[in-house]
Amino acid sequence: MGAATQPVPGASVWRRVRVSVAAAAFASGSGTNLQALLDAEAEGAHYTISLLVTDRPCGAEDRAATRGVSVRRIRFKDRPAEETGAEVLAAMTDSGVTLAVLAGFLRLIPEAVVHAFPRRILNVHPALLPAFGGEVMYGIRVHQAVLASGASLSGPTVHYVDERYDEGTILAQWPVPVHGDDSPESLADRVLEAEHRLFPASLDALARAIEAGGKPRFRWPGTDVSPFTWQSLTHAFEIES
């Protein structure tokens, strides 16, 4: 069996030098949420994605490499959590990150990592938690469950990560109306659009709070996401001392 950690070729196309709060991203898939985070960073967000951790070959690696983000592929499957956690912590320490985000990551974060970064790891979930969460609730399954329930609202939830799937303290939610003619795919598309706005704004708010020595507080802003970018969404957060 090969090494658990594999450097990913092509991960240094260009390097960024702007100083901000350094963050690690975790991803397992195509990386559209990662791309939204990177795009907001380029527009002036208060964070820098300086490390991507993946558990498999995925499109997110290509997105990170294009932007000069260091990529580390770490094996999570069929491996003791303690061993995986130690390797993840080493990668995060080497990169000097203060925050982390789960941008479509399908593995449970080891307890050692959660304990080392309390209230410093964010996840985005494509439904209004605490409903429709848990280990098997990811991808299209979430939207199928929402439609089957008859719910009139869905939308992304950004929450702090703890030792269990989707149970950390909720930081922000954005409601997306469910239409009578929605399919799981059409609902997923609209929720994803909201994710791409809310997730960067949430990470930006947490980074600003760390810079200010406080904590972010989200104010419920409404239901229409169409006019908003991450920049205009930052008004939805206040920084409390």
Given a contact cutoff of 8 angstroms between Cβ atoms, the answer to whether 202 and 221 are in contact is: no
pLDDT in tens, the chain (241 residues): 344 444 433 333 223 444 489 999 999 999 999 999 999 999 989 999 999 999 999 999 999 999 999 999 999 999 999 999 999 999 999 999 999 999 999 999 999 999 999 999 999 999 999 999 999 999 999 999 999 999 999 999 999 999 999 999 999 898 899 999 999 999 999 999 999 999 999 999 999 999 888 888 876 555 444 444 555 566 667 777 6
CATH classification of the domain holding 16: 3.40.50.170
Helix 32-42 and helix 59-66, axial crossing angle in degrees, nearest 10 = 10
Q: Is 196 a catalytic residue?
A: no
**Residue with the two structure tokens 């789960």:** 102
Closest among 37, 116, 117 to 69, alpha carbons compared: 37
The answer for 181, left when phi > 0, alpha when psi is -120 to 50, beta otherwise, is alpha
Q: How many domains, in total, are found in the chain?
A: 1
Task: Show the domain range for 128.
Answer: 5-240
d(CA 101, CA 66): 19
Residue 14, classed as helix, strand or coil, is coil
The two tokens of residue 24 are 């690690």
Catalytic one among 125, 143, 159, 196? 125
d(CA 135, CA 164): 8
The two tokens of residue 203 are 């990470």
- 46-58 pLDDT, tens digit per residue, is 999 999 999 999 9
